[in-house]
Amino acid sequence: MSQPAQQRFAGQVALVTGASRGIGFAAARRFLAEGASVCITARRPAGLASARDELVALSAPERVIIAGGAADDPEHQQAAVAATLQAFGRLDVLVYNTGINPTYGPLLDLDPGVARKMFEVNLLAALFWVKQAHAAWMGANGGAIVNVSSVAGLGSSPNLAFYGITKAALISLTKQLAVELAPAIRVNAVAPAVIRTRFAEALYADDEAAVAASYALKRIGEPDDVAGAIAYLASSDAGWTTGQTLVIDGGALGSRG
């Protein structure tokens, strides 16, 4: 990633969930490059520590902290927000990037326990991270929130249907929070298509060329493609934008006419 010339987040602090790799890591790296300090969270300690080392190599150790835990664990949510405030004294940006999809197949074959877990992680946890951030800092000081949804939430998604349903609900949650938290807090979302991440690898690994051909730009997305959009929505450049979902799909929706 080239170093952005602008320093839109100088003096600010961002907390990014699910940031040990992929989109979350790219977003944290972008915030650092533009002047922010960051707290990154993830469930696996080894991956989180490795991500921290990579980020520290790009900035200064005092500008990066980590908080390990499951995104849907209320104690982890509270602890991560508290650690961010303790380390940096503020919390200007929250990016909810955590999502799971442990199932593949028709909706009628969906296991109820799996469905509940997906709903808790992909939707309810996003709400309760916002609640923690609001109580700790943003309610009194304002800020920006960006939720990472998916193009699966914009229409039918064969064999990924419940994942799409949770991501559609996240888009709706984004709109509702944007109204309730305005004017001091802006809430937006991004909806990526297939991005080159471990999470999405099964969707393109067998025939990347065929997947790329379905997009107008003739390639699959990269984490930095989404990170740039997240940074825009979190920045003052989007100061009159809230309740919106920015689709990042290489032109797939537009190419369908």
Q: Which are the catalytic amino acids?
A: 163
Residues recorded for the chain: 257
3-state secondary structure of 7: coil
Alpha helices in the chain (DSSP H): 22-33, 45-58, 74-88, 112-119, 125-133, 139-141, 161-181, 208-213, 223-234, 252-255
d(CA 23, CA 80): 19
Work out the burial of residue 5: count CB atoms within 10 Å of its CB; fewer than 13 is exposed, 13-18 middle, 19 or more buried.
exposed
What are the C-alpha distances in Å from 55 to residues 16, 36, 41? 13, 12, 13
φ, ψ for residue 69 (rounded to 5)?
155, 170
Q: Of 50, 47, 99, 24, which Cα lies nearest the Cα of 38?
A: 24
Contact 74, 128 (CB under 8 A): yes
